[in-house]
Amino acid sequence: MPDSLALADAIRSQTAKVGIVGLGYVGLPLARTFIEAGFTAMGFDVDAEKIRRLLAGESYIAHIPSPWIASCVAAGTFIPTSDMARLAEADAILICVPTPLSESRDPDLSYVESTARQVAAALRPGQLVVLESTTYPGTTRDVVLPILSAGGLVAGKDYFLAYSPEREDPGNADFSTTRIPKVVGGIDSQSLELAVALYSQAVVQVVPVASPEIAEACKILENTYRAVNIALVNELKVLLDRMNVDVWEVIRAAATKPFGFQAFYPGPGLGGHCIPIDPFYLSWVARKLEMPTRFIELAGEINASMPHYVIAKVVDALNEAGKPVRGSKIAMLGVAYKKDVDDPRESPSFKLMELLLARGAKLTYNDPHIPTLPSMRHYDLPPMKSQELTAQYLAAQDCVLIATDHTAYDWSFIAKNARLLVDTRNATRGVKEHRERIHKA
Ligand SMILES: NC(=O)c1ccc[n+]([C@@H]2O[C@H](COP(=O)([O-])OP(=O)(O)OC[C@H]3O[C@@H](n4cnc5c(N)ncnc54)[C@H](O)[C@@H]3O)[C@@H](O)[C@H]2O)c1
């Protein structure tokens, strides 16, 4: 039987083994999606500690329960391993490794390349390889394909290759991986057909597109759209504040328009692994093509200036209370980059902390999801632990800065006990009493 037919059969009967490379915020939920659809998933990661924890039935991602991991590992439907030679056992290999920026803010494809080399070393006829990591258009064809084909196997004939971007929305209980439509572009029609067949077994809707480049560009468009629109409301926030108009009320009113408007909200800056990074993958390509991407650069500039705006608001609020930042006790609420997640990557809270410490603030923090401040590549912050959010703790602060609006926070309690609040998320909108203590930023 030709390799493609055997693979199609295995996908249809769910006997195909699905290998996921990179068991992070994207890879682990993806493994769960396939296991829940009836497949056996092999999970590959170079981080030996992650594999050890998974084998011990322990989750490291808040919304994936440990007992579920333990039961799948015991049942043999989830096989975590750091032995990359076992990639040969998987029928489909889905790559979910990081795609960060380098120091010079260029795409860092080193993880994708090293994974592709590992896959190439184990590649056998009849396997489907899908890149899921966010990247610039052309990566699957120009970077991954040559590495995989170097050993002599031919894409579209011996093995199959596609790109399908991940659209995870961490913290959004309404949209687990299963419920989010998946865009798929194949390097040829056979690869597309097989990738569509595979994802159709596990997710609500599969959207086939004509090429991997379209699927790659689609993901970058989605994230650039967010970055640009967030920059727009951030800029309007600053302008409207000068006019004494509340931007949050303006957006709330505009959002009642049933067509042609989608609400985006201002904040203390951009965070997460996607929106502050992905648009720069596109501007890097544009630079090579000698074309400026002014929207992307401008959005980056405005969003990056937001922490400075917030600090100016903290300075003003303390000033009104007759206090300098130096020596003032400031508590930051939230270091996760968005509400209800335990992911601190690229969080604007780190920049805010750095700016406050540089001005001599006596800084502490609380985050129910992040008990200890992790060390971050770009920030040199002292070790800190999340403080207990008691009435005494709040009352002892000169200023409480709301950086992340976790659902767990009781805003009325916080406003009742804090002397001064600076709110970057409009988190205190429902608070009725002590409004004079609240400054929006
Ligand atoms: N986190 C999100 O919300 C999100 C959403 C959509 C898309 N993405 C994209 O998905 C990709 C993965 O992001 P993430 O947030 O899951 O990253 P992550 O850092 O949480 O996980 C990546 C994992 O890959 C592992 N890894 C690195 N190199 C490896 C290798 N050579 N072999 C095996 N494992 C390796 C790491 O140890 C880590 O566990 C990125 O391209 C990101 O832009 C992320």
The per-residue pLDDT for range 336-386, each reduced to its tens digit, is: 999 999 888 889 999 999 999 999 999 999 999 999 998 887 788 999 999
Ligand 1 atom 41: the closest Cα is on which residue?
133
For the chain, list residues with pLDDT below 50.
Answer: none
How many angstroms separate the alpha carbon of residue 133 from the centre of ligand 1?
A: 7
How many angstroms separate the alpha carbon of residue 23 from the centre of ligand 1?
A: 7
Ligand 1 atom 13: the closest Cα is on which residue?
98
How many angstroms separate the alpha carbon of residue 22 from the centre of ligand 1?
A: 6
* Residues framing ligand 1 (Cβ under 6 A): 21-27, 44-47, 50, 96-99, 111, 114-115, 118, 133-134, 166, 168, 170, 273-274
Catalytic residue among 72, 96, 274, 399: 274
How many angstroms separate the alpha carbon of residue 404 from the centre of ligand 1?
A: 23
User: What is residue 1's predicted lDDT score, i.e. its pLDDT?
Assistant: 63
User: What is residue 26's predicted lDDT score, i.e. its pLDDT?
Assistant: 93
User: What is residue 345's predicted lDDT score, i.e. its pLDDT?
Assistant: 85
How many angstroms separate the alpha carbon of residue 221 from the centre of ligand 1?
A: 20
274 among known catalytic residues = yes
d(CA 141, CA 216): 11
Ligand 1 atom 3: the closest Cα is on which residue?
168
pTM (whole model) above 0.75 = yes
Q: Which of 21, 32, 33, 45 to mutate to test the pocket of ligand 1 (most atoms within 8 A of CB)?
A: 45
Q: Which of 97, 163, 275 to mutate to test the pocket of ligand 1 (most atoms within 8 A of CB)?
A: 97
Q: Tens digits of per-residue pLDDT, 198-224?
A: 999 999 999 999 999 999 999 999 999
Ligand 1 atom 10: the closest Cα is on which residue?
133
